[in-house]
Amino acid sequence: MTPFVGLHFVLSAILAYVMRANILASAIGTAVGNPWTFPFIWVWIYNAGLWMIGSGHLSNSEVEFATVFSQSMEALIRFDMAYLIKTSGPVLWPMLVGSLPTAIVTWIIFYVPLQPMISRYQTKRNHRRTKKRRERKKENLARPELEDKDLELIVSSDVIPETIVSDKK
C-alpha cells in the first residue's frame, strides 16, 4: 500500500517480525499489490494524500505514475537525490501520506475478522493433535510385547514404538 514499489515484501516482513506475526502470511497478503491492482491503489492513495495535505499539488489527470516511478528508479540507481526529490517528491509525498491511513483501515478490515478464525483453527488443531498423541500412547501401553522400560520411554518422549520393537530384533 505504499508508493515504494518493490519494498512491499520487505516492509511487510519487517512489520510481521516486529509484531511476531507470520512472515510468509505477510508476504502472501502483500501480493494483493500486483500489476493489475497497483494503478487503482496508487490513484487512491495519491488522492487520499492530496485530500489530507490539501491539494496544492498536481491533479490526477496531470500525473503519469509510470513515468514518475521509472524516473524515480533511474534517479535512485544514479544516486541523484536532488533529481529524485524534484521529480518524485510532489507525487510520492501525497502517496506516502495517503498510504498510511489506507493501510491502517485495510489492516483493521482484514485482521479483525480473520484473527479469531485463525485462533479457533489453531486451538482445534492443537486439540486434535493432543488427542491423537494420547490415543497413540494408550494403544502403545496396551501392547504386551513391550517391556516396562520401553513403556516408560514411550510415555516420557512420544517415541514411536515400532522403532523400539524393531531395534530389539
What is the reported pLDDT for 78? 84
Query: Could you tell me which residues come within 8 angstroms of residue 75 by beta carbon, excluding any fewer than 6 positions away?
Result: 81, 83, 84, 87, 88
pLDDT at 166: 47
145 inside domain: no
Residue 32 belongs to domain spanning: 8-138
Q: What is the pLDDT of residue 75?
A: 80
Residue 162 resides in a domain = no
pLDDT in tens, 115-143: 899 899 999 999 999 999 888 888 777 76
Split into its structural domains, the chain has a count of 1
Whether 87 maps to a domain, the answer reads: yes
Alpha-carbon gap, residue 91 to 85, rounded angstroms:
10
Chain segment 76-113, per-residue pLDDT in tens: 788 888 887 887 778 888 888 998 999 899 889 988 89
* C-alpha cell, 36: 493489475
Q: What's the confidence (pLDDT) of residue 124? A: 94
- The closest alpha carbon to 162, from 137, 135, 140, belongs to 140
CA-CA distances (angstroms) from residue 144 to 115, 132, 150, 152?
46, 21, 11, 14
DSSP letter at 144? T
Answer yes or no: is 146 within a domain: no
How many angstroms separate the CA atoms of 43 and 79, rounded?
27
Answer yes or no: is 165 within a domain. Answer: no
Nearest-angstrom CA–CA distance, 47 and 60: 8
Q: Are 41 and 1 in contact, with CB atoms under 8 Å apart?
A: yes
Asked whether residue 68 is assigned to any structural domain, the reply reads: yes
Look at residue 17 and tell me if it is in a domain.
yes
Q: What is the spatial distance between Cα 102 and Cα 144, in angstroms, rounded to a whole number?
A: 64
HSE at residue 54, side-chain half, CA atoms within 13 A, is: 1
Domain assignment present for residue 159? The answer is no
